[in-house]
Amino acid sequence: MDPAGMNHQQICTHLGDQYNRFHGAVVPPIYQNSLFVYENFDSFIEAMKDEQHNYLYWRGNNPTVEIAEQKLAALEKGERCKLFSSGMAAISSAILTFVRSGDHILSVSNIYGPATKFFKYIEKFGINHTNIKSTNLEDIEKAITPSTKMIYLESPTTMTFKMVDLAKVAKLAKHYDLHTIIDNTWATPIFQNPLEFGIDIVVHSVSKYIGGHSDIVGGALITSTEIMDRIFYDEYQLLGGAMPPYEAWLLTRGLRTLPLRMKAHQESAFLVSKFLEQHQAVKKVNYPGLRSHPDFELGKTQMKGYSGLLSFELKNDTFEAVRNVLNSLKQFKIGVSWGGFESLALSPNYGHNTEALITSNISPGMIRISVGLEECSDLIDDLEKALV
């Protein structure tokens, strides 16, 4: 099946079905095997010439994993996708593709914590990193040094949900001969396709919306054939963070409902954020889908919708106030991660890290919620009771 011309739902439900290959099975089977055997040594040698497109070993290629990869490549409008055993495996592999000792990486505004920790970790290999607090293009350009090789970003940004102009950043990067990586987990390929704006690599944690059921951990990397040809033989095969077939099978199952789930998350999150915006205990709501969001106009030019993760800031920004709200919530459970069927709440304020929050532009009164698939009125009720 040719993905060109297929819409999101067609890609998610039917791309890669290949009924005649799998005896008409409506759900493709799980190839739970580590290796593939060959009829003779000659056909094995032939297959080894192109490990990317033949089945030899699970750390390279597997038919079950490949179905999910085809779907994600088509959804992101990229040429190729590889799936990893976690979002961080995809992120670290993507980053290492573009840098060597002596190089410098620039990251933009608030990004996922472990990605920042990874930038610090690779300092021991002589790779330096600067994070700029701003999403502004001039500030990004000013921070580029002669040894900068790569710009790493999220849009919307982690916790604060500010947006970065993707087309302009990609253009700036091309001008200075830099590569660009975006973590597109928040928007999912349903709501934002950064490759179309000239970004080089899109990474996802599929542990969030793409899997959607809080039952798998995985990552994806989508890019051009040219870049993937390098990653497959180096970072993918050598760091070895390949996605297992059973996880890929669950991922394909999750993908079948991704467009429907994202529509529901978007509708509920909009209503929840409207409710929070008018609440007297709330100082500010950070949700890119709100007209009052400072980047709302930019969002309209590069996003097709908004997912269900947002933050709000209490007027009373003490740890006690934050803790009271979190402990009073019943529908929203306390836990890491997000993007599943269940609603979750958390605060970056742990009671002992106020200074670190302020230097990261995060209000100590911030609460982050992941709006799940429960009845929206139940979620608003829950917030109303907790926000006294």
Q: Which residues bind ligand PLP (CB under 6 A)?
A: 86-88, 112, 158, 183, 185, 205, 207-208, 217, 219
Q: Give me the DSSP letters along 197-261.
A: GT-SEEEEETTTTTT-SS----EEEEE-HHHHHHHIIIIIIII--BPPHHHHHHHHHHHTTHHHH
- In sequence order, the β-bridge partners of residue 205 are 219
Minimum CB distance to ligand PLP smaller for 161 or for 332: 161
Minimum CB distance to ligand PLP smaller for 54 or for 85: 85
Helix axes 87-98, 113-121, angle to 10 degrees: 40
Rounded least distance, CB 301 to ligand PLP, Å: 22
**Strand residues in 271-321 grouped as ranges (E):** 282-286, 309-314
Minimum CB distance to ligand PLP smaller for 30 or for 220: 220
DSSP 344: E
Minimum CB distance to ligand PLP smaller for 86 or for 93: 86
Rounded least distance, CB 237 to ligand PLP, Å: 19
What does the buried/exposed string (b/e) look like for 160-198 if buried means 16 or more CB atoms within 10 Å of the residue's CB?
bbbbbbbeebbebbeeeebbbbbbbbbbbbbbbbbbebb
Rounded least distance, CB 84 to ligand PLP, Å: 8
Rounded least distance, CB 93 to ligand PLP, Å: 12
Rg of the Cα atoms in the chain: 21
Instruction: Give the nearest residue (CB) to ligand PLP.
Output: 87
Minimum CB distance to ligand PLP smaller for 15 or for 258: 258
Cα gap 194→26, rounded to integer Å: 32
Minimum CB distance to ligand PLP smaller for 367 or for 387: 367
Rounded least distance, CB 127 to ligand PLP, Å: 19
Place of tokens 């079948």: 256
Maximum separation of any 2 CA atoms in the chain, in Å:
74
Terminal alpha carbon distance of the chain: 55
